[in-house]
Amino acid sequence: MKNKFIKGLLVSSIIAISTQAATWKYAIEESITDVQGVYATKFKEYIEKNSDHKIKIYPYGTLGESVDVMEQAQAGILEFVDQSPGFTGTLIPEAQAFLLPYVFPENSKAIDNFFKNSKAINEMFPKLYAKQGLELLKMFPEGAVSITTQEPFTKPEDLNGKKIRVMTSPLLVETYKEFGAVPTPLAWGEVYGSLQTKIIDGQENPMFWIESAKLYEVSEVITDIGHNIFTTAVMANKRFFDSLSKENKKLVKNASEHAFNYILDYQKSIIKKAKEKIKKDKPSIKFVTLTDEQREPFRKGAQNVYKKFVELTGKSGEKILNQMLEDLKEASK
Classify residue 122 by its DSSP letter.
I
Single-letter amino acid code for the residue at 308? K
Window 182-221: contact mask with ligand 6CS (x via CB under 6 A): ------x----------------xx--x------------
For helices 292-331 and 108-117, what crossing angle results, to 10°?
40
> Is residue 30 involved in binding ligand 6CS (CB under 6 A)?
yes
Chain centroid offset of residue 222 CA: 21
Kindly tell me which of 79 and 204 has the beta carbon lying closer to ligand 6CS.
204
Write the burial class of residue 319 (CB in 10 Å: 0-12 exposed, 13-18 middle, 19+ buried): middle
Kindly tell me which of 142 and 201 has the beta carbon lying closer to ligand 6CS.
142
Q: Which of 102, 230, 241, 262 binds ligand 6CS (CB under 6 A)?
A: 230
CA dihedral of 275, 259, 111, 126, whole degrees rounded to 10? 130
Q: Which of 103, 167, 235, 320 binds ligand 6CS (CB under 6 A)?
A: 167
Q: How many Cα neighbours within 13 Å face the side chain of 280?
A: 7
Kindly tell me which of 29 and 327 has the beta carbon lying closer to ligand 6CS.
29
Kindly tell me which of 39 and 129 has the beta carbon lying closer to ligand 6CS.
39
Kindly tell me which of 218 and 244 has the beta carbon lying closer to ligand 6CS.
218
CA dihedral of 34, 39, 43, 45, whole degrees rounded to 10? 50
Residue whose beta carbon is closest to ligand 6CS: 188
Identify which of 151, 204, 160 has the alpha carbon closest to the alpha carbon of residue 182: 160
Kindly tell me which of 167 and 234 has the beta carbon lying closer to ligand 6CS.
167
Contact 181, 198 (CB under 8 A): no
Window 10-29: contact mask with ligand 6CS (x via CB under 6 A): -------------------x
Window 55-94: contact mask with ligand 6CS (x via CB under 6 A): -----------x-----------------x----------
Q: Which of 79, 94, 135, 142 binds ligand 6CS (CB under 6 A)?
A: 142
Binding residues with ligand 6CS: total (CB under 6 A): 11
Contact 221, 215 (CB under 8 A): no
Kindly tell me which of 188 and 262 has the beta carbon lying closer to ligand 6CS.
188
CB of 82 to ligand 6CS, least distance (A): 8
Distances (CA, A) of 250 to 42, 47, 51, 54, 150: 16, 11, 11, 16, 49
Residue ranges that bind ligand 6CS, judged by CB under 6 A: 29-30, 66, 84, 142, 167, 188, 205-206, 209, 230
